[in-house]
Amino acid sequence: MSEAKLLLVEDDADLREALLDTLLLAHYECVDVGSAEEAIIALKANHFDLVISDVQMEGIGGIGLLNYLQQAQPKLPLLLMTAYATIDSAVSAIKLGAVDYLAKPFAPEVLLNQVSRYLPQKQNTDQPVVADEKSLALLALAQRVANSDASVMIMGPSGSGKEVLARYIHQHSSRKDEPFIAINCAAIPENMLEATLFGYEKGAFTGAYQACPGKFEQAQGGTLLLDEISEMELGLQAKLLRVLQEREVERLGGRKTIKLDVRVLATSNRDLKAIASTGEFREDLYYRINVFPLTWPALNQRPADILPLARHLLVKHAKAFNIKPVPSLGEVATRRLLAHRWPGNVRELDNVIQRALILHAGGEICEQDIIIDSADVSMHLDAQHTEKTTENEGLGGELQAQEHVIILETLNQCNGSRKLVAEKLGISARTLRYKMAKMRDAGIQLPA
């Protein structure tokens, strides 16, 4: 999930739902409201990184919201959506301070490209924390590879730190002062990934009233991380291979080729060689990006990392939660952390530490603050709220839990192939991705 939080303001409920779906599928955290007045209430209660608002709504409307933002939060970018007939007012809104406008109707690609263009880039500055011999050796190797311009394939189970390692390579390369652009190939629906990667020209599809550079161009001079590359469909793999071979890109709907100077890193939590041998991943692309493979072992294979990571995460989240001083790790709590197998790797440890910080009292993390299984939290909460739960809500929760179990079982049966799971369950790949994003949000660890 992207750390960015968006506020969507649209009075047409159907359109709002469709837009919300697009944004959630792309792993943005998003709050949606139906009027500018509700938006102001949400803005007072939460921090947002970008607001997307319709112009014409009952009440003060999008322009009223723009005026409010100019006074209250002038740095918060606002992207306006308007019917084609009212573009003039949108243009004057830009003069008043909106960052851009989207002319309705627009294709989902246009929305996602504009959002990624105006969202302030939050760089994850986490340096890899390592202490285990295996991890130290991996980091030393990564540092040597960083000096070259070779493509690097970073493998390892989900949550093991692949993205952290990719940033580390960029930061230790000669490109460190140039952009680092990451794109999660699994998070962006197939039909939008191509436009997001390669950009598009004006008129390439509905709502593309202006040209938009793709991720390759945004990464010019720097590094592009293709996260979860195994999830890219075969047709797009062929186009990506061509771009990597030719070192130039052509925007969708364009005729001009743009020369590229981009280093490409990729990650996968599936065995890319194995899926290349079954034809699910192009072998030629595999060999092109796998110039230098680096693999994180699972966290339980590098036990000496667990405590330094736990302490690092305690400091990091205590700061974010404004908890002072940083609580210490009690002895029994420490033993629990060391005894667990960590199937969700560092991400799971991160969740456990955040829970512990919320629950702890008295300056020390004790055994009872270490809740390893997120189901324990729900059970704890369920027990507290049983009286309040209506019959319907209970049934809804049970059905949802069943759905989660079915998805998890099918993922395991299909060795993590999203495509096969969607086929087997008779749902679209898009719906599956949406459901999996919701499961991740609920703290459910999904297999690689």
Ligand X SMILES: Nc1ncnc2c1ncn2[C@@H]1O[C@H](COP(=O)(O)OP(=O)(O)OP(=O)(O)O)[C@@H](O)[C@H]1O
User: What is the smallest separation between the CB atom of 137 and ligand X, expressed in angstroms?
Assistant: 14
Phi then psi for residue 7, to 5 deg, are -115, 120
Give yes or no for residue 132 binding ligand X (CB under 6 A): no
Binding segment toward ligand X, per CB under 6 A, in 157-165, 209-217, 317-325, 414-422: 157-165
Question: DSSP characters for 189-233?
Answer: -HHHHHHHHHEE-TTSSTT--S-EE-HHHHTTTSEEEEETGGGS-
Residue of 16, 311, 340, 347 interacting with ligand X (CB under 6 A): 347
Cα(431)–Cα(77) distance, integer angstroms:
30
Give yes or no for residue 269 binding ligand X (CB under 6 A): yes
CB 42 within 8 A of CB 31: yes
Give yes or no for residue 159 binding ligand X (CB under 6 A): yes
**Size of residue set near ligand X by CB under 6 A:** 20
Give yes or no for residue 298 binding ligand X (CB under 6 A): no
- Token look-up 């308007």 returns 82
Give yes or no for residue 129 binding ligand X (CB under 6 A): yes
> Within 210-239, which residues bind ligand X (CB under 6 A)?
227
Checking 22-25 for CB contacts under 8 A at 24+ apart, the result is: 22/108, 22/111, 22/112, 22/189, 23/111, 23/112, 23/115, 24/434, 24/437, 24/438, 25/187, 25/188, 25/189, 25/430, 25/433, 25/434, 25/437
Give yes or no for residue 130 binding ligand X (CB under 6 A): yes
Helix (H, G, I), strand (E, B) or coil at 332: helix
User: What is the smallest separation between the CB atom of 448 and ligand X, expressed in angstroms?
Assistant: 7
> Within 403-442, which residues bind ligand X (CB under 6 A)?
none
Among all residues, whose Cβ is closest to ligand X? 161
User: What is the smallest separation between the CB atom of 361 and ligand X, expressed in angstroms?
Assistant: 25
User: Which tokens is 370 given?
Assistant: 């270490």
Cα(238)–Cα(275) distance, integer angstroms:
16
Give yes or no for residue 346 binding ligand X (CB under 6 A): yes
Residue of 208, 350, 411, 422 interacting with ligand X (CB under 6 A): 350
419 vs 440 by CB, closer to ligand X: 440
Overall size of the chain counted in residues: 448
What residues make contact with ligand X under the rule CB under 6 A?
Answer: 126, 128-130, 156, 158-164, 227, 267, 269, 309, 312, 346-347, 350
